[in-house]
Amino acid sequence: MSHGSLPDWVLLVFGLAAMPIASLLAGRRLVDARSGGREVLVRYRWIIGRGLLVSLALLCTWGATGRSFASLGLGSDFDSRAWLGFGIDALLLGAMAWQIFLLRPGPEQAALIKRRLIDSHMAPQTRAEFVLFPQVALIGSIAEELFFRGFVFWMLGPMLSVWGAAVASALLFGIAHAYQGRVGIIRTALIGLTFGIGFALTASLWWLIIAHVLMNLTGYAMALKLRNVLPVQAG
C-alpha cells in the first residue's frame, strides 16, 4: 500500500482525472478555433498556473512533512549515473544550438517543419505567444518532472515497483497531453517512458528538468528561426 497522505492522494487524483480532462477539452478548443492565438494563450496561461500550483504544492508538502527532497529526486549528491544525465543535457544543448545557428531550411522544408509544429497545437505562432512561451517551457517542464517523475514514482513505487511506476508515469504523462491528439498521446507517452527510465536509473530529477526544458526550447528556437522564413501572425 502507498505511503501517501490525504493531500498526496488528492494531488494524484488531480493528475489522474482533472489534468487529462482539462487537456482533452483544451485540445478540442485548439483544433476548432485558433481565434488569433487567444485559445493558445489561454492554454499557455493554464500550463503556467497549473505548473506553479503543482510545484508549490509538492515542495511545500515535502518541506512541511520533513520528507527528504532526495526522495522527490532533488538530492544534492550526484553519482556517475546522474553526471551521465547531465552529459545528455549537453548533447541536447548542442542540438538546440545547431538548430539555431547552423540549420538553414529552405522555404519548402521550413513550411513542412512549421506544419509539424502547428500540428502539436502548442508551438507559438503569434507575437504574444512567442513572448509567453519561454515561461511555459520553464514552469511547465519543472512541474511535469516534479509530478510525473518525482511524485508519481514516490507515490506508486511501493505498490508497483520502480519499473511499474515508470510505466504508470509514462501513461499518465501521455494522457495529460491529450490536447495533442492520439498521435501526440503516444509520442509523449514514449518520451515519458524514456524520462521515467532515466529517473529510475539515476534517482535524480535535476538533469531531467534541464532536458525537458531544453526539448521545449528546441521547438521554440525552431519556431523563432522559421519566422524569418515564414511571417508570424500579429496577434
pLDDT digits (tens, 9 = 90+) for 157-171: 999 999 999 999 999
Render 145-184 in DSSP notation, one character per residue.
IIIIIIIHHHHHHHHHHHHHHHHHHHHHHHHTTGGGHHHH
Residue 163 contacts residue 6 (beta carbons within 8 Å): no
Q: What is the DSSP letter of 126?
A: B
How far apart CA 202 and CA 190 sit, in angstroms, is 18
Residue 126, beta-bridge partner list = 233
Residue 233 has phi, psi (to 5 degrees) of -80, 160
Q: What is the pLDDT of residue 179?
A: 76
Render 77-117 in DSSP notation, one character per residue.
---HHHHHHHHHHHHHHHHHHHHHHT----HHHHHHHHHHH
Distance of CA 131 to the CA centre of its chain: 18
How far apart CA 208 and CA 57 sit, in angstroms, is 20
Residue 118 contacts residue 233 (beta carbons within 8 Å): no
How far apart CA 91 and CA 104 sit, in angstroms, is 20
Query: For residue range 8-45, what is the model confidence (pLDDT) as tens digits?
Result: 888 888 877 777 776 666 655 555 544 444 577 888 88
Q: What is the pLDDT of residue 36?
A: 44
* Cell triple for 198: 532515466
Output the CA angle 56-60-62, nearest 5 degrees.
120
Q: What is the pLDDT of residue 28?
A: 59
Query: For residue range 103-119, what is the model confidence (pLDDT) as tens digits?
Result: 776 667 666 666 666 66
Q: What is the pLDDT of residue 218?
A: 84
Distance of CA 30 to the CA centre of its chain: 18
Question: For each of the chain's 235 residues, which pLDDT tens digit applies?
Answer: 457 788 888 888 887 777 777 666 665 555 554 444 457 788 888 889 989 999 999 999 999 999 999 999 999 889 999 999 999 999 999 988 887 777 776 667 666 666 666 666 677 878 888 899 999 999 999 999 999 999 999 999 999 999 999 999 999 999 888 777 788 889 899 999 999 999 999 999 999 999 999 988 888 887 777 775 545 454 4
Q: What is the pLDDT of residue 41?
A: 84
Residue type, 126: T
